């Protein structure tokens, strides 16, 4: 009986050792498109620990939930839930408490949203193929929140992950022009960006607002009309309606 048990344990040990060696050989020969578990962002929930549960973005807890999703082969689904958390966080009002109650009402141009970069990193490390998340996060950080360096870091990670996806370089160039105050060059790159089918609506709204601030109401109107006709996001559609009415008024076109 003891001998049989010994032989069984020896057999299992040999099988386990063979699996480990085979896994090491496979890992050395093939490129895995996903970051290692140690590079994932697990502590996103700490950013919202001061909030009551119903004020926390959907799926923002991360941590063990993300790890479990990966173990069960649900990487894309886990990343999608994390992305919904980003949209809920950046698409809602932000509460800031400073010795009392203070609120920033978010209109894609206000608020601080300190956790945004970390939440975007969580998404793109869960699934680096979600190029839209890189572009959306970088656009929001650089042009709406004036945190260009954080946007640059996100795009550099995207370039390292997918060096052939040229839109990362395009956005990076626009942000670098912004940092240098070369706004005409920045606008040219953003004009190139908004022609792409996967351009986030937030980038189109950013470009329209830049044109409006520079007094080019006609081009701003043209972009907002495109947003109104093409966007499926009711928030952007409503924002576009307001901007179109305002810009037509400024141009003397009526409503």
d(CA 118, CA 68): 20
The region that residue 186 occupies, defined by phi over 0 for left and psi between -120 and 50 for alpha, beta otherwise, is alpha
More confident residue, 63 or 74: 74
> C-alpha distances in angstroms, 177 versus 147, 170, 172, 190, 219?
14, 11, 9, 11, 21
Concatenated DSSP letters of 62-101: -THHHHHHHHTT-HHHHHHHHHHHHHHHHTS-EEEESSSE
Q: In this structure, what are the phi and psi dihedrals at residue 187, rounded to the nearest 5 degrees?
A: -65, -40
Average pLDDT for residues 21-47, to the nearest whole number? 58
Average pLDDT for residues 56-84, to the nearest whole number? 80
> What is the structure's pLDDT at 191?
96
> What is the structure's pLDDT at 4?
62
d(CA 222, CA 5): 78
Determine contact, residues 103/110, Cβ cutoff 8 Å.
no
Mean pLDDT over all residues of the chain? 81
> What is the structure's pLDDT at 2?
55
> What is the structure's pLDDT at 189?
96
d(CA 75, CA 58): 17
More confident residue, 10 or 154: 154
| pLDDT at residue 7 greater than cutoff 70 | no
Average pLDDT for residues 9-22, to the nearest whole number? 52
More confident residue, 162 or 106: 162
Token pair listed for 34: 């996903």
DSSP 51: S
Token pair listed for 197: 């089918």
d(CA 62, CA 198): 27
> C-alpha distances in angstroms, 11 versus 16, 19, 22?
9, 12, 16
> What is the structure's pLDDT at 223?
97
Q: Which of 170, 178, 191 is nearest to 145 (CA)?
A: 178
> What is the structure's pLDDT at 248?
95
More confident residue, 3 or 78: 78
3-state secondary structure 143-186: HHCCCHHHHHHHHHHHHHHCCCCCHHHHHHHHHHHHHHCCHHHH
Beta bridge partners of 104: 94
What is residue 223's three-state secondary structure?
A: helix
Domain locations in the chain as residue ranges: 34-127
More confident residue, 104 or 8: 8
What is the pLDDT confidence band of residue 66, given thresholds at 50, 70 and 90?
confident
d(CA 243, CA 227): 11
What is residue 103's three-state secondary structure?
A: strand
pLDDT, tens digit (0-9, with 9 covering 90-100), for 55-64? 666 666 666 7
Token pair listed for 173: 């160039």
Determine contact, residues 200/220, Cβ cutoff 8 Å.
no
The reported pTM is: 0.76
Average pLDDT for residues 151-180, to the nearest whole number? 95
> What is the structure's pLDDT at 55?
64
């Amino acid at each position: 009986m003891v001998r049989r048990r010994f032989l069984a344990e020896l057999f299992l040990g040999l099988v386990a050792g063979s699996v480990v060696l085979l896994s090491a050989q496979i890992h050395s020969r093939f490129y895995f498109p996903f970051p290692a578990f140690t590079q994932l962002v697990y502590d996103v929930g700490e950013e919202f620990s001061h909030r009551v549960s119903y004020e926390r973005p959907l799926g923002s807890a991360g941590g063990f939930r993300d790890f479990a999703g990966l173990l069960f082969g649900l990487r894309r689904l886990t990343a999608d839930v994390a992305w919904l958390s980003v949209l809920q966080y950046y698409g809602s009002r932000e509460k800031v408490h400073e010795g009392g109650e203070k609120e920033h009402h978010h209109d894609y141009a206000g608020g601080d949203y300190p956790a945004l970069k970390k939440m975007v990193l969580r998404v793109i490390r869960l699934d680096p193929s979600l190029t839209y998340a890189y572009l959306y996060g970088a656009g929001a950080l650089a042009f709406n929140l004036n945190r260009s360096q954080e946007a640059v870091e996100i795009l550099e990670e995207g370039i390292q992950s997918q060096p052939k996806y040229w839109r990362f370089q395009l956005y990076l160039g626009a942000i670098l022009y912004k940092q240098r105050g070369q706004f005409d060059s920045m606008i040219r790159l953003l004009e190139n960006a908004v022609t792409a089918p996967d351009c986030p609506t937030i980038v189109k709204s950013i470009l329209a607002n830049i044109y409006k601030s520079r007094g080019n109401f006609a081009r701003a109107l043209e972009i907002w009309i495109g947003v109104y006709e093409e966007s499926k996001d009711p928030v952007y559609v409503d924002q576009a309606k307001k901007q179109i009415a305002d810009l037509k008024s400024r141009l003397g076109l009526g409503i």
